[in-house]
């Protein structure tokens, strides 16, 4: 089961006024070792601490391969991220060879001194639209499940981009991040799939609460503010 994946970059950022909003989305490359606590990387921050960060959302990872797709889809709206040395999706970790089909809820990775666990897909939001000047980027990202994913920190410690993520544990009934996105976003009131999601014991609490609400009420929470920034 063990496999290793090397990161292409680690990013951290501070809150600043960008794209007409306060955001720490434009995170810059960090070299050398830094400390990873249960709340995230030392020197990293979030503007909206209600919807970003926290114990289930300590780290965000986004596959570098996806930028090629977005550049082909939107052309001039997407610049060569590598030349800017900036995380275009607000990610902390950039990688190749790890995508939503191959990463599963509950996957645990040894990373340097730390152990991290996949907790949920990333929920695309309107800030991505503003950052890239693409009105429905969040909707498009959600529709094809190229959302990236988040981690909780099981064991804090020093980490470095030169140290691989080594898969050390995977739960028996784990769903891939793509399967979670396809169900949660694509078929949000499919009872069978909601029950399968509810069986994912490593899924973040905030997602589990929404699944329980959908099962109880047969209604989907309003996504408009998250996706577009308005009711």
pLDDT value at residue 79:
62
Q: Tokens representing 214?
A: 């959908």
CA angle 142, 187, 215 (to 5 degrees): 120
Rounded distance between C-alpha atoms, residue 122 and residue 142, angstroms: 9
Pairing status of strand 149-155 against strand 114-121: antiparallel
Mark the ranges of the chain whose per-residue pLDDT is less than 70: 1-2, 51, 76-77, 79-86
Cα gap 218→201, rounded to integer Å: 22
Which pLDDT does position 82 carry in this prediction?
43
Structure confidence at residue 230 (pLDDT): 85
* Helix, strand, coil % over all residues of the chain, rounded to 5: 30, 25, 45
Within 10 angstroms of residue 70's Cβ, the number of other Cβ atoms is: 20
**All domains of the chain in start order, with CATH:** 4-228 (2.40.33.20)
Radius of gyration, alpha carbons of the chain: 17
Q: What is the pLDDT of residue 10?
A: 96
Instruction: Determine phi and psi for 229, rounding to 5 degrees.
Output: 85, 10
- How far is it, in rounded angstroms, from Cα 77 to Cα 128? 12
**pLDDT (0 to 100) of residue 47:** 76
């Amino acid at each position: 089961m063990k496999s290793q994946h090397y990161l292409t970059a680690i990013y951290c950022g501070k809150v600043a006024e960008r794209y007409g909003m306060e955001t720490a989305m434009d995170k810059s490359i960090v070299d050398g070792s830094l400390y990873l606590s249960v709340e995230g990387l030392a020197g990293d921050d979030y503007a909206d601490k209600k919807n970003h960060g926290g114990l289930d959302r300590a780290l965000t990872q986004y596959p570098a391969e996806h930028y090629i797709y977005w550049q082909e889809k939107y052309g001039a709206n997407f610049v060569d991220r590598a030349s800017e040395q900036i995380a275009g999706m607000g990610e902390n970790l950039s990688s190749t060879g790890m995508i939503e089909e191959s990463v599963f809820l509950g996957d645990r990775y040894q990373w340097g001194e730390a152990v991290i666990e996949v907790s949920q897909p990333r929920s695309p939001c309107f800030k991505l639209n503003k950052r890239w000047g693409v009105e429905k980027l969040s909707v498009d990202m959600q529709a094809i499940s190229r959302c990236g994913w988040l981690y909780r920190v099981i064991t804090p410690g020093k980490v470095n981009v030169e140290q691989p993520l080594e898969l050390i544990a995977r739960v028996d009934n784990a769903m891939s991040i793509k399967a979670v996105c396809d169900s949660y976003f694509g078929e949000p009131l499919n009872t069978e799939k909601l029950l399968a999601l509810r069986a994912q014991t490593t899924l973040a609490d905030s997602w589990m609460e929404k699944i329980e609400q959908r099962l109880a009420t047969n209604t989907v929470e309003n996504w408009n503010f998250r996706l577009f920034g308005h009711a």
